[in-house]
Structure 1
């Protein structure tokens, strides 16, 4: 009890300790960078449905194969999907230490009623540039 008179009830804040602790760096993988680039290229109307990544290798190259499924709903979204289909094969992705060797639309489902919608599956091959 006697010590309670001298010790504060709340813990003492030490600002030097909080300022000195470094924040951990989060490294974004090439696959995550690719996904972000594809979603940005698809535009704000695209809804990401699925993304999968699998290792890939040949005799001379190594990398990953990515499958991305996007859903577009509405007239504006379907217009954006058509623009993505036209731009994707020739688009220059800028992903550090990685080359996008192949990018293609491998599946397309579309319906017009009751509202136009498209579901697009993309296949992309990333090669390690090391």
Structure 2
């Protein structure tokens, strides 16, 4: 009779800044939107380093569109809490509304994250 060693838990995957941005935005739009695209580019000045995140979010249905409209209004002044990062700028760059065949909203937004430290 052989005794098998217990399985080790799988290694925890490390959450990236991009993962944290998507999670923070999802919380802000009450998990009503879907990320269509997300790009991340390195950004630096003489004194700071960070990343610029550009996202397209889709909201489908009346309740989701309402949450999306609230998201658009709240994003620029929202105080984010992303560990190790400071959100220096957040804004909506484009909004597209459609009513047919069902209410739909696509929001393009950009966030500039600076590394704390």
Given the two structures, how large is their TM-score scaled by the length of structure 2? Answer: 0.89
1:119 Cα deviation (Å)? Answer: 0.5
Is 1:92 the counterpart of 2:88? The answer is no
Change (3 A) 1:110 1:22: closer
Equivalent residue runs for 1:1-130 within 5 Å: 12-14=2-4, 17-18=5-6, 21=8, 23-130=10-117
Separation in structure 1 between the aligned mates of residue 10 and residue 36 of structure 2, nearest angstrom? 32
Please identify which structure carries the higher helix content. 1
| Whole-angstrom CA distance in 1 between matches of 2:9 and 2:32 | 38
Q: Deviations over 1:4-49 (max 9, x none)?
A: xxxx5xxx233xx436x46423221122111111022112321111
- In the alignment, the residues of structure 2 paired with residue 59 and residue 18 of structure 1 have an alpha-carbon distance, to the nearest angstrom, of 51
Instruction: Report how many residues are paired.
Output: 117
TM-score w.r.t. structure 1 length?
A: 0.81
C-alpha distance in 1 between matches for 2:90 and 2:73: 11
- Structure 1's unaligned 5+ residue stretches are 1-7
Change (3 A) 1:61 1:110: same
Give the Cα–Cα distance (whole angstroms) in 2 for the partners of residues 24 and 78 of structure 1.
38
Residue pair 2:51, 2:113 contacting (<8 A) in 1 also: yes
* Deviation at residue 60 of structure 1 after TM alignment: 1.0
